[in-house]
Every structure is written in structure tokens, then in C-alpha cells.
Structure 1
């Protein structure tokens, strides 16, 4: 599976460095309009573009002021996609949460981060919802078996954007 090049987003922090011209280097957030302000040349479009393209653009504009500028654009903080890469746990849990996704995280990890299930939960009717480009997939999670019997057959590895729902039992 090929990984697409990361596109810079609003609120990401980028570092621009110009070789042999440290006074032109800056570290700035991408503004809501998708622009960054660079010394000498002013605003440069960064949002929705890959770092190499932004560097090339800055390099061309700086060539008017600096002989043969060598520009690097480095992402230092990826903040624009923070909400896309979270895992949410809702329903009959002690503390519904939205937590940052971490590679290797499982359903159990996410439910424990939510403080576990409440006494009103129906943990064996829990679900994991995953949105794909075409549809939303649903997976049955037997949380009671995971928590009380160590049966990890439905302790799925979660993905960014997943939602885990623990329903309340019918009284």
C-alpha cells in the first residue's frame, strides 16, 4: 500500500530554513487561510500542499533576493489532522473519551482509557464502527468476554477515526 505524501494543513507548524541564510529561517503555524509569512517574500500558500512544493515556491521567490537559495520546509508539528486521528469511546463507560490514536492500540486499550464500563453496560453488545471511503463498517465486540474471560478474539486493533460504542442493558 503506497502512502500518500503528507499535505500541510491549517494549524500545522512548519519550519523554513534557507541554507547559509539563517536569518531567513522561520518556524510558523499555517494560518486559517492556508498561508505562511516568510521574511523578504511575504505570504506563501502552504495549506493543501506537500512540503517539497512549498520549498520550491519559496526558493523561486527568494531567488530575487538571494543567489541560488537552498530551501527546506519541515513539518515540526502536525496539528491539522489531530481530530481525524482520534479514537472515540461512547455509551455506558465511566468517562466517554476522544483519545489520540496510537499504533497497536486495541479496543481494550480504548475502553480502559474511558475508565471501563459502568454497571448499566451491556458489554457483549458493544460495537466498533470504522468509516471507509465507501461506507461505515460495524464490528461486534464481545467486551464482557474480553474483560472477564480473557477472550481476545474480538479485541480488534483500532484505526484512526474509529468509534467504540458500549450500549446500556435493557432493564
Structure 2
């Protein structure tokens, strides 16, 4: 009898501990809005996997294409690893000029994004009932139609006309209803919308 009571008490303690652990929720991921200029135009930020063309005038030995490493840095001759992810090309050019000034007289640096992946926070993400839900790098002028073509369209059970576009602007999260079924099945271009960096599109399953 005593052993049964002890066993029951131990099991209750384990359940309580498990329940206590389950209540400890992780904080939500930080979602950054896009960088825009004074006119509201999108400014691209360098991300891991980007291929950068870096021109150092009159210095062909270090001029070339550089891939941003998974840790967000680039490796060049003369310098240690240089943080690049999250910067604009102008910001990186200024940083490279400052660094190279210790090795070269009055360096002039130009940075161009040759192949873009973008920061993870700026990629456009589609989740739910599409043929191939995925994240894709944002490109200037990207629309909902472009995204749906990339993911292969709606799945057979998608509630396309009640999809949700989630957007972070000025630190505020907003939800917008989008009519993907009308866009894809009826070519209703009024249902097409412009996308912004970091947009998340959620397509739920239809209830029949």
C-alpha cells in the first residue's frame, strides 16, 4: 500500500513538472520592417548567400566577387572577416573604405549586389495550402501573382479567397485579406497586390 502511494505521488510530481515546463513559451521571433528612404522606396539589405561585386579602384588584386558567408561576413585579402549582412551596399562601401584605409592610400570602394538572397527577415514567406510553400528573396516590384507562380499555385484544398497577408510596418503587425483564388482561377488582376520585404502569406484549408 505504501509503495503504491509513493508511486502515485511520484507520477503526480512528474505530471506537474511536465505541465510547468509546457507553460514556458519562447518569445516570438523578432520581425524587422524593411529599410526605406525618405520617399518610402525600399532599400536592399545584404544577406547571407549574396554575391557581391566589390570594386576597389586601381587595386585589381582585391577587386572581385565575394559571397557573404552564413555568418554574414565576407573574407577579403588584406583584411579580417568583414560583417556585411544587414548593411546596404552604401554602408558596406563606407565600412570597406575605412578598413582598407589602413592598407591603401585613399581607397575608393564601390559595392554592387550581383546575386541576391536577402536577409531571412526580408524574404517573402508563404505558408499553408500551396503546392510548394516556401520562402523566396524579395525583389523590387514583386507581386502576389509572382509569389503564387513561384510556389506553383494553390493546393486542391486551399481556401484561397480567405488567405491572409501579414505585414510589419513601423513595428506594427497588420493582417490583410487577399483573394488568391480569384487571382489565379479567374485572372482577376484587381486581386493582385504589391508585396513588401518580410511579408508572410498564410493560406488556410477550406472547410467543405
Post-superposition shift, 1:37? 4.2
8 Å contact from structure 1 (residues 92, 120) kept in 2 = yes
CA separation of 1:123 and 1:7: change in aligned 2, threshold 3 A = closer
Residues 36-55 of structure 1: matches in 2 within 5 Å?
A: 36-39=75-78, 42-43=79-80, 45-47=82-84, 49-55=91-97
Under a length normalisation based on structure 2, what TM-score does the superposition of the two structures give? 0.60
Per the alignment, in what secondary structure is the counterpart of residue 62 of structure 1? coil
CA distance in 2, matches of 1:104, 1:7: 16
Higher-Rg structure is 2
Q: Deviations over 1:80-117 (max 9, x none)?
A: 73423322222111111222223222212212222211
Q: Does 1:111 align with 2:152?
A: no
8 Å contact from structure 2 (residues 161, 179) kept in 1 = yes
Under a length normalisation based on structure 1, what TM-score does the superposition of the two structures give? 0.71
Map of 1:57 onto structure 2: 99
CA separation of 1:79 and 1:28: change in aligned 2, threshold 3 A = same
Q: Larger strand proportion, structure 1 or 2?
A: 1
CA separation of 1:37 and 1:151: change in aligned 2, threshold 3 A = closer
Q: Larger helix proportion, structure 1 or 2?
A: 2
Structure 1 unpaired stretches of 5+:
none
Count of residues paired in the alignment: 163
Post-superposition shift, 1:7? 6.6
Q: Does 1:17 align with 2:56?
A: yes
Per the alignment, in what secondary structure is the counterpart of residue 196 of structure 2? coil
The match for 1:159 among 164, 175, 196 is 196
Post-superposition shift, 1:156? 1.0
Per the alignment, in what secondary structure is the counterpart of residue 94 of structure 2? helix
